[in-house]
Amino acid sequence: MRIVEQYSEKQIDTIEIGSAKYIGDYAIRIKFKDGTDRLVDFKPFLSKSQHPSISKYLKENLFSDFKIVDGNLNWNDYDLIFPIWDLYNGRIE
């Protein structure tokens, strides 16, 4: 038996956030390194959550204090983080 591996020349790009700006009312304008620009509304997600570790981010000063870490949005040392693909698609569910 002979096993043959084939590799594609196609490069898979990593999705990373280049910059993010808090707009207000729990919305963040996110610019990705590939040039994609999204305005993501986090308010519906935060408002629906009954878990205290998430709903505490309805305090606007806490929510607006995010950082970009390893190409993703990060709140309070990974206390709150979202899948990069959801952010890229502009939908938090």
What was the pLDDT predicted at 3? 74
Of 1 and 14, which is predicted with more confidence? 14
Ramachandran bin of 52, using left for φ above 0, alpha for ψ from -120 to 50, beta for the remaining angles = alpha
CATH 3.60.130.10 fits domain 17-89: no
Q: What is the pLDDT of residues 15-68, one digit of tens each?
A: 999 999 999 999 999 999 999 999 999 999 999 999 999 999 999 999 999 999
User: Measured between alpha carbons, how far is 59 from 89 in angstroms, rounded to an integer?
Assistant: 25
Domain positions in the chain: 17-89
| In the predicted structure, residue 12 carries a pLDDT above the cut 60 | no
